[in-house]
Structure 1
Amino acid sequence: MSAPLYSEPGATWWPLLWGPGFALAGYLAELFAGIRTHTVLWLAAGVGLLGLTAVWVYARRRFLAVRVTGTELEQGRERLPIARIAQIDDVGAPVGARPLGGGWSVPRKYEELPVRLEDGTVVLAWARDADALRSALRSAMRDCAA
């Protein structure tokens, strides 16, 4: 496996601290207010929020990850060999172009990059920084052609 030319993980793991942090803040608020603390309830809330957040982060890392290596473009659940890409510059996005990654549309807050494949179809690649993705794809295409 070659080193990535471009990589977006989809999400970081630091949001896992939100739930336990909120639960700790609630526990400390009860403690400093001088009322009876509900330790077990706050522990359960922290663990529950941690579990929900872990599912959310895992899903984002699985379905929103973008990676370009010297041989393929990975977008979410889909892998596209670089050799199948014919053009990335000056490609218009026709209505109904299929987004890569298995979704119905380009994910929200992501920029689309129309890509023409060797068979003439146009698909939509996507990334938070479409210019950096285009640059990485250009480099990978150059290396693949050589």
Structure 2
Amino acid sequence: MSDETRYLERGAAWTPLWYGPGFAVLGALAELATGGPVHVVAWVLVGLGLAAITVPWINARRRFHTVRVTSTALWQGREELRLDRIAEVTEVGTPAGARVLGGGWSVPRNYDELPVRLDDGTVVLAWARDGEALRAAIRSVKGWPA
């Protein structure tokens, strides 16, 4: 069986990388429009500096908030859960103290939680921006009816 990606949610896009340089261009244009001196070197440094501090943030979000379902595993950030360990994803209650997949203390903000019952009876919390799509992807890969 191939290990192709069946569902993918990136933790962040690379587009915020352009916010800093865009801000710098707007600042330089504002200086130009007001007739004052345009500090080109300063605005270039501001744009590059803001882009440079954005790269680690994007990289961390892509590493720790990416959700992927392949034909064999569910990936939550850097944690892998083999799909053959999943017993149920529908009508599973969330017990207090359920472990969150991906290594966090809680489900990331602005993400839906999806309780998952494992083959040993324990319940863990998976998460995705679109919890229903994640549930459907897992059910589809496991061959369960929708």
Q: So what's the TM-score if we normalise by structure 2? A: 0.94
Which whole-Å CA distance do the structure 1 matches of 2:39 and 2:84 have between them?
60
Alignment correspondent of 1:25: 26
Q: Secondary structure at the match of 1:79?
A: strand
Q: Following superposition, which runs of at least 4 residues in structure 1 exceed 3 angstroms of deviation?
A: none
Task: Give matches, 1:102-117, under 5 Å.
Answer: 102-117=103-118
Alignment correspondent of 2:6: 5
Q: Which amino acid aligns with 1:140?
A: V
**Aligned pair 1:45/2:46, yes or no?**
yes
Task: Give matches, 1:39-78, under 5 Å.
Answer: 39-78=40-79
Q: Secondary structure at the match of 1:125?
A: strand
Q: Name which of structure 1's ranges 16-25 and 34-43 shifts more when overlaid on structure 2.
A: 34-43
User: How many residues are matched?
Assistant: 143
Q: CA deviation at 1:16?
A: 0.8
1:64-95 superposed Cα distances (whole Å, 9 cap, x missing partner)? 00000110000011010001111111110001
Which whole-Å CA distance do the structure 1 matches of 2:120 and 2:24 have between them?
54
Q: CA deviation at 1:3?
A: 2.3
Q: Which amino acid aligns with 2:11?
A: G
Q: CA deviation at 1:142?
A: 2.0
Q: Which amino acid aligns with 1:8?
A: E
Which whole-Å CA distance do the structure 1 matches of 2:4 and 2:31 have between them?
50
Q: Percent identity?
A: 59
Q: So what's the TM-score if we normalise by structure 1? A: 0.94
Q: Which amino acid aligns with 2:6?
A: L
Query: Unpaired runs of 5+ in structure 1?
Result: none
